[in-house]
Amino acid sequence: MTFLKEILKKPTLIIFFSSILVFFNSWPAFILMRKGWFLQDSTAFSIAIALSAFFIMFVIPAVIIKFVLKKPLSDFGLLIPKNLLETVKLSAIILVIFLPVVFFLASKENFQQFYLIKHNFNWIFFLEILASCFYFFSEEFLFRGVLFFGLWDKLRFHTFWITGLLFALFHIAKPGEEILFAFFVGLSLSYLSLKTKSFLPAVVVHIILASALNIIVLIHSIT
């Protein structure tokens, strides 16, 4: 256990370990889908993806942090920010900067084809939005919590571009413009997390940006 603890303190292994978790975050859901539990485009599959991500990107690293590294999860940003007014201001600034870009991207045909949720504004649509909240919470815990806070004391400002690059590569299967967009959003969310000492504001901003994209795409599809 001590040997594993020392290994997990090395920046290169933190990056490698996090990358493995990112790569396999949806693996349990795809295994169940291939076994015939649900169809790939179904709401059940979306929920399974969110739960898979929650287990792989939150539960597993949280258990390792708590019981192997023996550190509190608050050291990795799992806490309510102390200065809520500053948190709201910083979050609002990020949204003002990036929401217009989201509106522009949502108007592009490749984004509409990729992100179209095949439902109208009904309870199934909002159920999928709710499921995605678990996904974004887990994603932000891994990138802003485990990676950013885990590397900050060791790499300082290099942590920004490393985390931003990995976050951008995480979106490589999505429309091409999103890779560059994700890099700059990642930098902003890392800065927000650093200033507030919490990754939770990044979760809220991420959910708002992603939900806005889905809603605008759906509006385009029904108008």
Q: Summarize pLDDT for 119-153 with one digit per residue, the tens.
A: 555 667 777 788 889 999 999 999 999 999 999 99
Does the structure show a pLDDT above 80 at 187? yes
Q: Which pLDDT band holds residue 216 (cuts at 50, 70, 90)?
A: confident
Please give the single-letter amino acid code of residue 158: H
pLDDT tens-place string over residues 69-96: 889 999 999 999 999 999 999 999 999 9
pLDDT at residue 214, as a whole number: 84
pLDDT confidence of residue 120: 59
Choose between 13 and 165: higher pLDDT. Answer: 165
* pLDDT value for 104: 94
In angstroms, the CA 51 to CA 135 distance is: 7
User: What whole-number distance in Å separates Cα of residue 203 and Cα of residue 192?
Assistant: 10
The whole-angstrom separation of Cα 4 and Cα 103 is: 45
The mean pLDDT of 98-126, rounded to a whole number, is 80
Query: Mean pLDDT in the chain?
Result: 89
Domain span holding position 174: 2-222
pLDDT score, position 4: 55
DSSP the chain: -HHHHHHTTSHHHHHHHHHHHHHTTTHHHHHHHHTTSS-TTSHHHHHHHHHHHIIIIIIHHHHHHHHTS---GGGGT-S--S-HHHHHHHHHHHHHHHHHHHHHHHTSHHHHHHH--SS-SSHHHHHHHHHHHHHHHHHHIIIIIIIIIHHHHHHTTHHHHHHHHHHHHTTTTS-HHHHHHHHHHHHHHHHHHHHHT-SHHHHHHHHHHHHHHHHHHHHHHH-
pLDDT grade, residue 115 (50/70/90)? confident
Q: Which residue is associated with the tokens 């690293």?
A: 61
Grade residue 6 by pLDDT with cuts at 50, 70 and 90.
low
Residue 25 near residue 52, CB atoms below 8 Å: yes
Q: Which residue has the higher pLDDT, 223 or 43?
A: 43
Total domains in the fold of the chain: 1
- How far is it between the farthest Cα atoms of the chain? 60
Q: 166-186, pLDDT tens digit by residue?
A: 999 998 888 889 999 999 999
- The pLDDT of residue 157 is above 70: yes
Count of Cβ atoms closer than 10 Å to residue 113 Cβ:
11
pLDDT of residue 90: 97
Which residue in the block uniquely carries the two structure tokens 């890392």? 190
**pTM (2 d.p.):** 0.91
Residue 195 has pLDDT above 90, yes or no: yes
